[in-house]
Amino acid sequence: MKKILCLLLCLILLLFTGCLDSVPLGKRAVVRTVGLDYENGEYTAALQLYGQSDSPGGPEIITAKGDTLAGLFSNAAIQQGKQLFLGNLRLILFGASLSAEGIEDVLGFLNEYHQISPATQTAVVLGKAGELMKPEEDKSLPGELLDTLSNAQQGGRAPLCRLMDLIPEQADHAAPVLALAEGPAAIAAGSVIFSEGKVESYLDPEATRGLCWLQGEIGGAVLETKSPVSAAVTRKVSHKISPEAAACFIQLYVSSSLWEGPQDTGLYPAIAREQERMIQQEIEAFLDRTLRQGLDPFDWGSRMGQANLAEAQYQLSVQCQIEEQGAAS
Amino acid sequence: MERKISSVQLALLLFLCSLASLLISNGSFSIMAAFLPAMVLVGAALVPAFLLGRKQGFLPALSSWGKGAVIPAAFLLVMVCLFMAAQELRVYGFFLTSTVYPKAQMGIFLIGTGIVCAYAAGMGLEPLARLGLWASVFAAVVFIAFILGLAPSMKNMPVFHASPEGMSVFFQRAFRVACASEEALLFLILAPRARSRRQKGGKGISLWLSLAVIAAILTGLLSEIALGAYRETRRFPLHTAAAAAHFSPQGRMDLLFLFLYTGAVFIKISLWLYGGCFVLRYLFPRMRRGILAIVCGTGAVILGFLPFTQTITNLLLSGWMLAFVFIGPLVPLLFFRKGASQ
Query: CB–CB of B99 and A114 under 8 A?
Result: yes
Mean of pLDDT values over B91-116: 89
Taking the CA atoms of B253, A114, B218 and B12 in sequence, report the sign of the dihedral they define: negative
- What region, left, alpha or beta, does residue B222 occupy, with left being phi > 0 and alpha being psi -120 to 50 degrees? alpha
Contact, A210 vs A249, CB < 8 A?
Answer: no
Looking from the CA of A21 toward its CB, the CA atoms found within 13 Å total 6
Model confidence at A276: pLDDT above 90: no
pLDDT tens-digit map of A60-108? 788 899 899 989 999 988 888 888 888 888 889 998 888 888 888 888 8
Q: Which B residues, 136 through 195, put their C-beta within 8 Å of a C-beta on chain A?
A: 153
- Between vectors from CA A101 to CA A297 and to CA A180, what angle results, nearest 5°? 80
CA distance A38 to A129: 10
CA distance B36 to B209: 9
How does the average pLDDT of chain B come out, rounded? 80
pLDDT (0 to 100) of residue B326: 62
Contact, B52 vs B61, CB < 8 A?
Answer: yes
Which helix (H) or strand (E) segment holds residue A238: the answer is strand A229-242
Query: B303 in helix, strand or coil?
Result: helix
Say which residue, A37 or A305, is predicted with more confidence.
A37
Q: Is B95 on the interface with A (CB under 8 A)?
A: no
Q: Is B92 on the interface with A (CB under 8 A)?
A: no
Task: Provide the shortest C-alpha distance from residue B100 to chain A (in Å).
Answer: 7
Nearest-by-Cβ selection for B230 from A19, A118, A299: A118
| CA A287 to each of CA A278, A297, B145, B294: distance values in angstroms, whole numbers, following the listed order | 14, 10, 38, 68
Q: What is the band of A182 on the pLDDT scale with cuts at 50, 70, 90?
A: low
Candidates A19, A115, A170, partner chain B, best to mutate (most B CBs within 10 A) = A19
Query: CB–CB of A117 and B100 under 8 A?
Result: no
Query: CB–CB of A118 and B153 under 8 A?
Result: no
pLDDT (0 to 100) of residue B160: 53
Q: Is A303 on the interface with B (CB under 8 A)?
A: no
pLDDT tens-digit map of A200-237? 888 888 888 888 888 877 777 777 776 655 565 666 66
| CA B42 to each of CA A106, B11, B198: distance values in angstroms, whole numbers, following the listed order | 45, 14, 19
Closest alpha carbon to B89 in B268, B237, B290: B268
Closest alpha carbon to A299 in A248, A251, A252: A248
- Ramachandran angles phi, psi of B97, nearest 5°: -80, -15
Give A157's DSSP letter.
Answer: S
Instruction: Report ipTM (2 d.p.).
Output: 0.70
The CATH number for B7-332, chosen from 3.10.129.10, 3.30.70.100, 3.40.50.360, 1.20.1740.10, is 1.20.1740.10
Mean of pLDDT values over B218-230: 84
Contact, B90 vs B310, CB < 8 A?
Answer: yes
Task: Provide the shortest C-alpha distance from residue B104 to chain A (in Å).
Answer: 7
pLDDT (0 to 100) of residue B139: 94
CA distance A224 to A233: 11
Query: CB–CB of B153 and A111 under 8 A?
Result: no
Give A142's DSSP letter.
Answer: P
| CA A218 to each of CA A47, A150, A155, A205, A215: distance values in angstroms, whole numbers, following the listed order | 30, 11, 6, 14, 8
Contact, B34 vs B177, CB < 8 A?
Answer: yes
Query: CB–CB of A118 and B104 under 8 A?
Result: no
Q: What is the band of B137 on the pLDDT scale with cuts at 50, 70, 90?
A: very high
Q: Is A118 on the interface with B (CB under 8 A)?
A: yes
Say which residue, A255 or B132, is predicted with more confidence.
B132
pLDDT (0 to 100) of residue A28: 83
Query: B307 in helix, strand or coil?
Result: coil
H helices of B151-197, where?
A: 167-179, 182-190
Tell me how crowded residue B308 is: count the other CB atoms within 10 A of its CB.
Answer: 9
Q: Is A150 on the interface with B (CB under 8 A)?
A: no
Domain edges within chain B: 7-332
pLDDT (0 to 100) of residue A329: 40
CA distance A326 to B249: 32
Tell me how crowded residue A302 is: count the other CB atoms within 10 A of its CB.
Answer: 10
Q: What is the separation of C-alpha B7 from the centre of its chain, rounded to a whole number of angstroms?
A: 16
**Comparing A59-68, B6-15, B61-70, B258-267, which segment has the lowest mean pLDDT?**
B61-70
Closest alpha carbon to A127 in A91, A180, A173: A180
pLDDT (0 to 100) of residue B53: 59
Domain edges within chain A: 25-203, 204-329
Q: Is A226 on the interface with B (CB under 8 A)?
A: no
Q: B254 burial class (0-12, 13-18, 19+ CB within 10 angstroms)? A: buried
**Comparing A62-71, A238-247, B63-72, which segment has the lowest mean pLDDT?**
B63-72
CA distance A44 to A66: 7
A230-263 in b/e form (b: 16+ CB < 10 A) is bbbbbbebebebbeeebebebebebbbbbbeeee
CA distance A144 to A99: 22
Residue of B nearest to A120 (CA): B244
Which chain A residues touch B243 with a CB distance below 8 Å? Answer: 117-119
Query: CB–CB of B246 and A111 under 8 A?
Result: no
Mean of pLDDT values over B138-149: 89
Nearest-by-Cβ selection for B252 from A19, A117, A167: A117
Which chain A residues touch B109 with a CB distance below 8 Å? Answer: 19
CA distance A103 to A92: 12
Q: Is B217 on the interface with A (CB under 8 A)?
A: no
Q: Write the CATH number of the domain with boundaries A204-329.
A: 3.30.300.210
pLDDT tens-digit map of B245-268? 776 555 678 888 999 999 999 999
Query: CB–CB of B245 and A119 under 8 A?
Result: yes
Contact, B250 vs B256, CB < 8 A?
Answer: yes
User: Between A and B, how many residue pairs show a Cβ–Cβ distance under 8 A?
Assistant: 43
Q: Is A167 on the interface with B (CB under 8 A)?
A: yes
pLDDT (0 to 100) of residue B341: 41
Residue of B nearest to A113 (CA): B99
Q: What is the band of A21 on the pLDDT scale with cuts at 50, 70, 90?
A: low
**Comparing A8-12, A172-176, B214-218, which segment has the lowest mean pLDDT?**
A8-12
Contact, B29 vs B220, CB < 8 A?
Answer: yes
